[in-house]
Amino acid sequence: DGIDVPGLVDDLRTAESILRSCCATSNVRLLGLRSAVLPLLAYASTCREPVDLVLWAPVLDGRELVAGWREQHRRQLDELGRYLRAGTRSDDDELLGFVLSRRLLDGLEALQADKLVLPAGSRIQLAQWQPSPGTDAFVRAQRDAGVLIELLQLESVDAPDWDHPGQFDTQLFPRRA
């Protein structure tokens, strides 16, 4: 059936449970990098107890995330010559050379971080290079719900060019596990 958001949420729940039992601690801090923030927030929003998260360069809008992946895929196929044979076409379930579950893409597109409210008393450390209206809306929604947020503003000149379609070796994009 492939990977989907509910499966990722279940995986995160299991991983946190294992960490708590292996480390004999109740204090577990979970890290979400870029696009992994959305499934992490989907998980955290289902928790009954406060959570402790670090969100690094978070992607908070699922529609923008998937649209960006699709545009990068299109540019690599049609403009930049990622593939050696001219006219290479991918199947509908391929994105950047990986077969992805349609349910995963649909589930990610539906996620909007400012609609995912964490339990009161949760803590978030959010590191970002560029502030955005989406980040502001997310921070407001969480603070209104009683979540403590620490913002770490990184120097924008240091931001990596994550999505440059010509830098195939340095990109972050969905991968099959």
Model pLDDT for residues 65-110, shown as the tens digit of each residue: 888 888 877 777 666 655 556 566 666 666 666 677 889 999 999 9
- Whole-structure pTM value: 0.82
Q: 159 versus 122: which is more confidently predicted?
A: 122
DSSP 33: E
pLDDT of residue 165: 55
Whole-angstrom CA distances from 13 to 24, 40, 115, 127, 175 are: 16, 10, 20, 23, 21
The tally of CA atoms less than 13 A away on the side-chain side of residue 21 is 6
pLDDT at 177: 30
pLDDT of residue 174: 43
